[in-house]
Chains A and B, each alone.
Chain A
Amino acid sequence: MVGVFIVVATICYCVGAVGYLVYLFRDWEAIHRACLAVLAAGAIFQGVALGVRSFQVGHLAATSSQEAMAFFAWILVLIYLLVQVRLNLRILGSFVAPLAVVFMLTSSLLPDREVPTATIFQSMWLILHVVTLFLANALYALAFSAGIMYLLQERNIKRKSFGFLYPRLPSLDRLDRINYFCLMVGFPLMTLGLLAGFAYAGTVWRSPWNWDPKEVFAVITWFIYAVLLHERLAVGWRGRRAALLAIFGFSAVLVTFLGVNLFFEGHHTVFVK
Chain B
Amino acid sequence: MKSTMGHIVLLGMNHKTASVELREQLALVCSNQANPVQLFPYLGSVKELFFLSTCNRVEILFTCQNYEDAMGEVKALLKTHLGVSSACLGQFEANFYIHKDEAAVRHLFRVASSLDSMVVGEPQILGQIKKAYREAVDHRTVGVILNRLLHKAFSVAKRVRSETMIGSYAVSISYAAVELARKIFGELASKRVLLIGAGEMAELAAEHFLAQGVCHMVVANRTLERALELARRFRAETTAFEHLPDALSEADIVLTSTGSPIPLLTYQDVKSRMRKRRNKPLFFIDIAVPRDVEQKVNEIDNVYLYDIDDLQGVIELNREERQKEAARAEHIILEEALKFHDWLRTLDVVPTIIALREKADRIRKKEMRKTLAQLPSLGERERQAIEVLTESIVGKLLHDPIVFLKKKAGRESKQVFVDHTQQLFNLNEDGGLPSSSGCNQK
A interface vs B, CB < 8 Å? 153, 157-158, 160-162, 166-167, 170-174, 235-241
Contacts and interface: CB of A to CB of B under 8 A. Distances in A.
B280 interface: yes
Given A161-B313, A172-B184, A172-B281, A241 B304 contact: no
Interface string B78-110: 000000000000000000000000000000000
A158 B277 CA distance: 19
B298 interface: yes
Contacts of B278: 235-236, 238
Q: Nearest 4 pairs between A and B by C-beta?
A: A236-B278, A171-B186, A173-B186, A239-B302
Interface string B197-226: 000000000000000000000000000000
B306 interface: yes
Nearest to B317: A162
Contacts of B313: 160-162
Given A157-B180, A162-B317, A239 B186 contact: no
Given A162-B317, A173-B281, 6 more contacts: A157-B304, A160-B313, A162-B314, A172-B186, A173-B185, A238-B302
Contacts of A236: 275, 277-280
A195 B201 CA distance: 59
Contacts of B302: 238-240
Contacts of A153: 183
Contacts of A241: 301
Contacts of A157: 180, 183-184, 304
A157 B284 CA distance: 12
B183 A172 contact: yes
A48 B183 CA distance: 41
B184 A173 contact: yes
A162 B316 CA distance: 10
Interface in B297-322: 298, 301-302, 304, 306, 310, 313-314, 317
B407 interface: no
A171 B184 CA distance: 5
Given A160-B313, A172-B281, A235-B278, A240 B184 contact: no
Given A160-B310, A162-B317, A239-B281, A171 B298 contact: no
Which residue, A157, A166, A238, has most C-beta atoms of chain B within 10 A?
A157
7 contacts: A153-B183, A160-B306, A171-B182, A173-B184, A173-B281, A235-B279, A240-B302
Interface in B258-296: 275, 277-281
Which residue, A166, A171, A237, A241, has most C-beta atoms of chain B within 10 A?
A171
Nearest to A159: B298
Contacts of B185: 171-173
A240 to B, nearest CB: 6
A237 B184 contact: no
A74 to B, nearest CB: 31
A239 B310 contact: no
Given A160-B306, A235-B278, A240 B301 contact: yes
Nearest to A173: B186
Which residue, A167, A174, A239, has most C-beta atoms of chain B within 10 A?
A239
A256 to B, nearest CB: 29
Contact of B183 (A161, A171, A239): A171
A240 B186 CA distance: 16
A248 B151 CA distance: 65
A237 B275 CA distance: 9
A173 B188 CA distance: 11
Which residue, B180, B279, B298, B306, has most C-beta atoms of chain A within 10 A?
B279
Contacts of A162: 313-314, 317
A238 to B, nearest CB: 5
Given A172-B281, A239-B281, A158 B298 contact: yes
Contacts of B317: 162, 166-167
A146 to B, nearest CB: 13
Contacts of B182: 171
B173 to A, nearest CB: 14
Nearest to B314: A162
Interface in B163-190: 180, 182-186
Contact of B280 (A160, A161, A171, A238): A238
A153 B281 CA distance: 14
Contacts of B275: 235-236
Contacts of B310: 160
A205 to B, nearest CB: 44
Given A171-B185, A173-B185, A174-B186, A239 B279 contact: yes
A157 B281 CA distance: 12
A47 to B, nearest CB: 34
